[in-house]
Amino acid sequence: QVQLVQSGAEVKKPGASVKVSCKASGYTFTSYGISWVRQAPGQGLEWMGWISAYNGNTNYAQKLQGRVTMTTDTSTSTAYMELRSLRSDDTAVYYCAREHRRWFDPWGQGTLVTVSS
Amino acid sequence: EIVMTQSPATLSVSPGERATLSCRASQSVSSNLAWYQQKPGQAPRLLIYGASTRATGIPARFSGSGSGTEFTLTISSLQSEDFAVYYCQQYNNWPPREWTFGQGTKVEIK
């Protein structure tokens, strides 16, 4: 079955960087894009950006431009999301999701990133 | 940016009753709208795409309708497993991608 498995929880200090991985299985990785969505504690969903697993093209949310980089490794069917210059309001659960014709299905299990001094 | 507004924020419903959730877009998104269900501690799950097409494995009690700026998710007879938060998402604005979600509607047991 189609599955996305993410890396484990992270605790980072303000100003640091975090890199979250998302390993795909059960489908042809390069046939779909991966979007990243985050959810602050008790809040709603925020789309962060998208990467094509076919050619590496990216599209980032305007508010994160310059701080986020999304990459893929097609040899391992893994997508990565790196967020730099972390602030306390970056504390959230980060999800990867397969973008299927612009909607998201399925989603990874989520990775909690806590930013705290 | 297209702003998605969901109402109500919380909906109290008894098991077996119908639930009607609304989602409004700040400008037309045609039928480019999806609905997701999220239970506590879990990732969201796709319910509906194209405003009205149920995703694979989604029970027929879930239905979506609308186009343009006004959309509705209806759960015809609430089961215990349906109490959750529901989000709408527009995917009309592209390129480049500018996907946005509503703030969610929590469906709770009355």
Q: What is the pLDDT of residues A67-93, one digit of tens each?
A: 999 999 999 999 999 999 999 999 999
Window 52-71 of A: residues touching B by CB (8 A cutoff) are 59, 61-62
Hey, are the CB atoms on A44 and B34 less than 8 Å from each other? no
Which pLDDT score is estimated for B26? Answer: 97
The minimum CA-CA distance between B15 and chain A, rounded to whole Å, is 25
Interface check B100 vs A, CB under 8 A: yes
How far is B96 from chain A, CA to nearest CA, in Å? 7
Is residue B49 less than 8 Å (CB to CB) from chain A?
yes
Contact A105 B101 (CB under 8 A): no
Question: Which of the four pLDDT bands, split at 50, 70 and 90, describes residue A59?
Answer: very high
Q: Is residue A51 within 8 Å of A33, Cβ to Cβ? A: yes
Give me the pLDDT at residue A68, please. 98
Can you give the pLDDT at residue A17? Answer: 98
Region for A30 from its dihedrals, namely left if φ exceeds 0, alpha if ψ lies in -120 to 50, beta otherwise: alpha
- Which residues of chain B lie closer than 8 angstroms to A96, CB-CB? none
pLDDT of residue B16: 95
The answer to whether A102 contacts B104, with C-beta atoms less than 8 Å apart, is: no
Long-range contacts of B79-86 (CB under 8 A, 24+ apart): B79/B15, B80/B15, B82/B19, B82/B37, B82/B107, B83/B107, B83/B108, B83/B109, B84/B37, B84/B38, B84/B39, B84/B40, B85/B37, B85/B38, B85/B39, B86/B6, B86/B21, B86/B35, B86/B36, B86/B37, B86/B38, B86/B47
Task: Please report the pLDDT score of residue B95 as a whole number.
Answer: 83
Mutate to test the interface with A, among B99, B101, B103 (most CBs of A within 10 A): B99
Residues of A in contact with B10 (CB under 8 A): none
pLDDT above 90 for A1: yes
Q: Which of A8-17, A52-61, B28-37, B90-99 has the lowest mean pLDDT?
A: B90-99
Please give the Cα distance from A3 to A105 (Å, whole number).
10
**Buried b vs exposed e over B14-50: b needs ≥16 C-beta within 10 Å?**
eeeeebebbbbbeeebebbbbbbbbeeeebbbbbbbb
Residue B110 tokens read as 């009355």
| Range 57-86 of B in CB contact (< 8 A) with A | none
Query: In the predicted model, what is the mean pLDDT of chain A?
Result: 97
**What confidence score (pLDDT) does residue B63 get?**
98
Give the model's pLDDT for residue A101: 86
User: What's the pLDDT at B96?
Assistant: 86
Instruction: List the pLDDT tens digit at each of the 110 positions of chain B.
Output: 999 999 999 999 999 999 999 999 999 999 999 999 999 999 999 999 999 999 999 999 999 999 999 999 999 999 999 999 999 999 998 888 899 999 999 999 98
How many angstroms away from the CA of B57 is the closest CA of chain A? 12
Q: What pLDDT is recorded for position B42?
A: 97
The rounded distance, in Å, linking the Cα atoms of B90 and B33 is 5
